[in-house]
Chains A and B, each alone.
Chain A
Amino acid sequence: MPCYRPLYRLWRIAAAVLMLATAAYAATPEYEIEIRNHLFEPDVLEIPANTTIKLIVYHRDPTHDGSGSFELNREKDIMGNSKAIIFIGPLPPGEYPFFGEFNPTTALGKIVVKGDDHAG
């Protein structure tokens, strides 16, 4: 029926926008690290240059901790036995150290950004 056509078109546009949004969301690569016995595992994480990544930090210790980095301008508190999500990037190639805020002497790690600086 002709009177439904504008509505149908709107629905199609909405569906397309939704699909694009999901695609963009899915395109954010995910990385996982663990904090166990106040140590990061792995303690070196390689990520591509000029890309936003989603970092999921699983905290396996019963005590709380924070995850922070001066070079990355990131800081987040993480409760014991839980997980946290932190978005990082887009970053130029290089090394970015991070640390467990409540155990900064032992919980050390770094993110190595690899790839072509001009890409993307």
Chain B
Amino acid sequence: MLVNSVIIVLREVLEAALMISMLLVVSRPLEIRPRWLTTGLAIGLLGASIYGHFLDPISSLFDGAGQELLNAMLHLGLFATLTLSVFLIARQGNQPCKNDSLLPKVMATAIALAVTREGSEIMIFVAGFLPLDNFMSSVGLGSIAGAAIGCSVGVLFFYLLLAMPARRALRIALALLALAAAGMSAQAIQQLIQADWLSVAGAAWDTTRFVAEDSLPGQLLYALVGYEASPSPIEAVIYLASIVLMALSIVLGSKVFRLESSAPR
């Protein structure tokens, strides 16, 4: 049980930690006070508690598809807020950003949504084992270890990007953020398929032979870019379309910035 809890909690924490690192890196040149992060985390933890607590009534909504629909909405919201963040960051260029502008709010919303989604799974998992006598020796300890490892990897990833030349770090973080956001919209589609709101037959391809989803690299890739070994065709299309949308918002954002800065005062 100890190892299981480490893995379960690590998987959820890792996804949120990597996203926070990427947002911190891309917003670094803009000199925003990190209040958006603490606000987002606090709201997310609250959201996760509420979601975890009301999982049963939520699940039975919409003929038993409530959980899937809420998850799909959280994922779509994440995609939207991440895309908007990237657009606003690109528009800003290297100009410092005002602390009361839209960008910190959008990033805080993204963090809140991510923490709600990932945190609720941890809450449900931990709450289920809370009545056990040996809770602290197995599940509790494992969860703490998993959370610690997840946060450490996030911090490590942040400093790894910081160690690079600023321009390259920004490009890599933006590209990874685009992939992560695309993974979110693919996961939303996945949830709609599970709820039978979308019907699909078969997988577009199967890369399990190269990278299995339950392997360590598979889990890491899943946390980082939403890797799926055997996606359905619609998931693949949505994933690619999301990347295109993200690339467009980066290009459009920086174009607006250039026009504004070249215009006479």
A64 and B55 CA atoms in complex are apart in Å by 10
Given A52-B199, A70-B213, A87-B196, A80–B190 Cβ distance below 8 Å?
Answer: no
Given A77-B67, A79-B124, A102–B4 Cβ distance below 8 Å?
Answer: yes
* Chain A residues whose CB sits within 8 angstroms of the CB of B193 once the complex forms: 73, 87
Q: Which 5 A-B pairs have the closest CB atoms?
A: A64-B128, A85-B64, A87-B196, A63-B128, A70-B213
Tell me if B214 counts as interface (CB < 8 A to partner A). Answer: yes
Q: Pick the contact of A70 from B4, B129, B229 — CB < 8 Å?
A: B229
Q: How far is the CB of A12 from chain B (nearest CB, A)?
A: 27
Tell me if B133 counts as interface (CB < 8 A to partner A). Answer: no
A65 and B55 CA atoms in complex are apart in Å by 12
* Chain B residues whose CB sits within 8 angstroms of the CB of A66 once the complex forms: 121, 124-125
Given A73-B228, A77-B124, A90–B201 Cβ distance below 8 Å?
Answer: yes
Tell me if A105 counts as interface (CB < 8 A to partner B). Answer: yes
Which of B121, B128, B208 has the largest count of A CB atoms less than 10 A from its CB? B128
A103 and B56 CA atoms in complex are apart in Å by 20
Given A85-B64, A85-B65, A102-B4, A74–B194 Cβ distance below 8 Å?
Answer: yes
A76 and B67 CA atoms in complex are apart in Å by 8
**Chain B contact residues, CB within 8 Å of chain A:** 4, 8, 55-56, 59, 63-65, 67-68, 121, 124-125, 127-129, 131-132, 190, 193-196, 199, 201-202, 208, 212-214, 228-232
A80 and B190 CA atoms in complex are apart in Å by 24
Given contacts A64-B127, A77-B124, A90-B201, 19 further A-B contacts (CB under 8 A): A28-B196, A62-B131, A63-B129, A63-B131, A64-B124, A64-B128, A73-B193, A73-B194, A76-B67, A76-B194, A77-B59, A79-B59, A82-B59, A87-B194, A92-B202, A102-B8, A102-B125, A102-B129, A105-B4
Residue interface mask A66-103, B partner, CB < 8 A = 1: 10001101111111101111110011100000000111
A13 and B151 CA atoms in complex are apart in Å by 58
**Chain A contact residues, CB within 8 Å of chain B:** 28, 50, 52, 54, 62-66, 70-71, 73-80, 82-87, 90-92, 101-105
The 24 sampled A-B contact pairs (Cβ below 8 Å) are A50-B201, A62-B131, A64-B127, A64-B128, A66-B121, A70-B213, A71-B208, A73-B193, A73-B228, A74-B194, A75-B194, A76-B68, A77-B59, A77-B124, A79-B56, A79-B124, A82-B59, A87-B193, A87-B194, A101-B8, A102-B8, A102-B125, A102-B128, A104-B4
A79 and B229 CA atoms in complex are apart in Å by 28
**Cβ-closest chain B residue relative to A61:** B128
Which of B125, B127, B232 has the largest count of A CB atoms less than 10 A from its CB? B125
A93 and B63 CA atoms in complex are apart in Å by 28
Q: Pick the contact of A87 from B124, B131, B195, B228 — CB < 8 Å?
A: B195
